[in-house]
């Protein structure tokens, strides 16, 4: 770690004074290190190695040790940081974290149980308060991982916890499951799966069946649907808007909803508005029919595969990264090597899929915004034009809520829930890309293009 140019920092040093009595991991058998190791012993070695500063990492599982290390840091100014121990399940965790973070020398914590031979204990939902306190205090979390198979717990824990927290805030019941519980409920998952969130109200719908059903219901309520008809122009017609198509008819209406997906900018631009939307193709494949055993929809936390099985036995796998799509030619190709890679990812999650044949591969075109939020709300240039496009892959599941909200806006003028975050005007200022999702879910070229800062204003 080099904080200032030319200053070397050893970011992981242990110090101890045995008479304090809490370095219980040390025993007389550890002859070379079973003695006091204090700053004056270390200094000549640091000097010889050209190391100017150090960060001391906890070696005992007590708060008393944190006090001792803070005292050393007070005496030796070249101790620049401390990684202290805390027990995240402590009944006083908020106060303990507050006390530690009060001193800017404490940079983070390293909680340890049983020498972290397994870190599955970190998935215990009762520790949530502790993780939340650390995050609020801005302290970093060091994790000692002894079992490499558990690395995903360290890398994905934060993501799983976020799923659970955000889901719970939205009224969903989401359980965080440790490795044993995952295996008990879903015995077919592979050994690499060490944790999961489980949402019992999650569900799936087959769009091939759901879409015609929605169309039938809409027609029954008086809607007219013209398939294979392209809107070529939307223009003003007095107080109304006129929609011109590539067929013989035009439609005039008091309101127009621009729900044209990845093509949303084509309509918006006719009214002097645009967005930094880009199109991409989320790939999918389906296997031959296999015995039916996967009852829930499984999603790898990193998002590389989403697996579900239909009762007829075919396993459908959606996967990342999304690749380029051609909105003009209406093409969404999938590179063959991606399917092979995702078969490997699927086998890692559900090993019984080894040897299954992928019988069909497909994709489609979706519109994405750099902040991975849709555009939804009134046009800022044109009265009675409503935008609802660029759903960034959230789409199918959100459509009933989106439709309901748009209907409220037309009926009542305003939505009953706040949707300002989706406003088309958010792109007039600085755009804040969702770097985690862009880099994790898209081909590198698409992600870096989406994150590139814009020099010109998008609004005309
Ligand atoms: C392969 C794939 C798998 C997916 N899996 C899931 C999933 O499992 N769960 C989920 O929730 N979501 C999923 N999605 C995402 C979901 O399908 C989309 O987010 C959703 O369809 C977006 O809805 P939309 O109405 O905004 O856009 P679209 O469904 O793209 O609809 C826009 C429509 O507007 C039409 N259009 C555009 N321009 C014009 C014009 N000028 N004139 C007339 N018509 C026009 C287009 O032809 C299109 O039919 C998946 C998407 C793909 C591609």
320: CA distance to ligand 1 center in Å?
18
Is the CB of residue 366 below 6 angstroms from any atom belonging to ligand 1? yes
260: CA distance to ligand 1 center in Å?
8
Is the CB of residue 363 below 6 angstroms from any atom belonging to ligand 1? yes
Residue 431 belongs to a domain:
no
Residue 435 belongs to a domain:
no
pTM of the model: 0.75
Residue ranges of the alpha helices (H) in 170-200? 179-185
CATH number at residue 107: 3.20.20.140
Residues with Cβ < 8 Å from 254, sequence gap 6 or more?
A: 239, 240, 241, 384
331: CA distance to ligand 1 center in Å?
13
Ligand 1, atom 14, residue with closest C-alpha: 393
CATH number at residue 310: 3.30.9.10
Domain count, the chain: 2
- Our CA angle for 22, 23, 27, nearest 5°, is 125
Residue 166 belongs to a domain:
no
Is the CB of residue 256 below 6 angstroms from any atom belonging to ligand 1? no
Closest ligand 1 atom number to CA of residue 388: 26
Ligand 1, atom 10, residue with closest C-alpha: 396
Alpha-carbon distance values, 343 to 189, 220, 293, 352, 443 (Å): 15, 42, 18, 12, 18
Residue 22 belongs to a domain:
yes
248: CA distance to ligand 1 center in Å?
25
Q: What is the pLDDT along the chain (460 residues), one digit of tens a residue?
A: 445 567 899 999 999 999 999 999 999 999 999 999 999 999 999 999 999 999 999 999 999 999 999 999 999 999 999 999 999 999 999 999 999 999 999 999 999 998 998 888 887 767 878 988 998 899 999 999 988 777 777 777 767 777 788 888 888 888 888 778 888 999 999 887 877 889 888 888 888 899 999 999 999 999 999 999 999 999 999 999 999 999 988 999 999 999 999 999 999 999 999 999 999 999 999 999 999 999 999 988 766 889 999 999 999 999 999 999 999 999 999 999 999 999 998 998 999 999 999 999 999 999 999 999 999 999 999 999 999 999 998 877 888 899 999 999 999 999 999 999 999 999 988 888 999 889 989 999 999 999 987 655 444 4
Residue 95 belongs to a domain:
yes
The backbone torsions φ and ψ at residue 140, rounded to the nearest 5 degrees and listed phi first, read -80, 160
Report the candidate in 166, 177, 176, 120 with the shortest Cα–Cα distance to residue 143: 120
Is the CB of residue 231 below 6 angstroms from any atom belonging to ligand 1? yes
Ligand 1, atom 1, residue with closest C-alpha: 363
CB 280 within 8 A of CB 446: yes
Residue 263 belongs to a domain:
no
Separation of alpha carbons 338 and 325, rounded Å: 15
Residue 384 belongs to a domain:
no
Which domain range does residue 130 map to? Answer: 8-147
Residue after which a domain boundary falls, among 90, 122, 147: 147
Is the CB of residue 118 below 6 angstroms from any atom belonging to ligand 1? no
Residue after which a domain boundary falls, among 363, 380, 409: 363
Residue 79 belongs to a domain:
yes
- Our CA angle for 33, 35, 40, nearest 5°, is 100
Residue after which a domain boundary falls, among 121, 147, 173: 147
């Amino acid at each position: 770690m080099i904080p200032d140019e030319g200053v070397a920092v050893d970011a992981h040093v242990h110090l101890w004074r045995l008479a304090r009595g809490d370095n219980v991991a040390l025993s007389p058998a550890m002859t070379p290190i079973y003695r006091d190791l204090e700053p004056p012993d270390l200094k000549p070695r640091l000097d010889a190695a050209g190391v100017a500063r150090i960060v001391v990492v906890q070696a005992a599982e007590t708060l008393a040790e944190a006090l001792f290390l803070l005292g050393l840091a007070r005496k030796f100014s070249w101790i620049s940081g401390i990684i202290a121990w805390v027990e995240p399940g402590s009944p006083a965790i908020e106060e303990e974290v507050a006390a530690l973070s009060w001193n800017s020398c404490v940079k983070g914590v390293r909680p340890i149980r049983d020498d972290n031979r397994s870190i599955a204990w970190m998935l215990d939902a009762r520790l949530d308060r502790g993780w939340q306190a650390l995050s609020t205090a801005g302290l970093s979390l060091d994790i000692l991982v002894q079992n490499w198979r558990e690395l995903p717990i360290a890398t994905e824990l934060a993501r799983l916890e976020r799923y659970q927290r955000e889901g719970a805030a939205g009224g969903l019941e989401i359980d965080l499951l440790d490795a044993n519980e995952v295996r008990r409920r879903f015995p077919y998952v592979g050994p690499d799966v060490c944790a999961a969130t489980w949402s019992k109200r999650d569900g799936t719908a087959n769009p091939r069946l759901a879409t015609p059903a929605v169309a039938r219901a809409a027609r029954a309520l008086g809607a007219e649907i013209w398939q294979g008809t392209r809107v070529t122009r939307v223009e003003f017609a007095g107080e109304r808007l006129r929609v011109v198509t590539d067929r013989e008819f035009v439609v005039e209406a008091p309101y127009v909803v621009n729900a044209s997906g990845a093509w949303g900018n084509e309509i918006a631009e006719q009214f002097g508005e645009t967005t930094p939307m880009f199109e991409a193709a989320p790939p999918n494949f389906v296997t031959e029919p296999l015995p039916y055993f996967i009852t829930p929809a499984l999603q790898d936390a990193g998002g590389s595969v989403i697996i579900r099985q239909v009762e007829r036995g075919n396993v459908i796998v959606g996967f990342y990264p999304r690749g380029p799509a051609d909105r003009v030619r209406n093409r969404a190709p999938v590179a063959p090597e991606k399917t092979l890679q995702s078969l490997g990812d699927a086998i890692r999650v559900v090993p019984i899929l080894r040897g299954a044949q992928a019988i069909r591969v497909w994709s489609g075109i979706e519109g994405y915004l750099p902040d991975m939020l849709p555009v939804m709300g009134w046009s800022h240039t044109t009265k009675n034009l409503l935008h609802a496009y660029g759903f960034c892959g959230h789409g199918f599941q959100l459509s009933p809520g989106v439709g309901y909200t748009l209907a409220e806006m037309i009926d009542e003028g305003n939505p009953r829930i706040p949707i300002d975050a989706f406003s088309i005007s958010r792109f007039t200022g600085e755009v804040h890309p969702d770097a985690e999702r862009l880099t994790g879910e898209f081909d590198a070229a698409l992600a870096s293009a989406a994150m590139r800062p814009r020099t010109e204003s998008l609004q005309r």
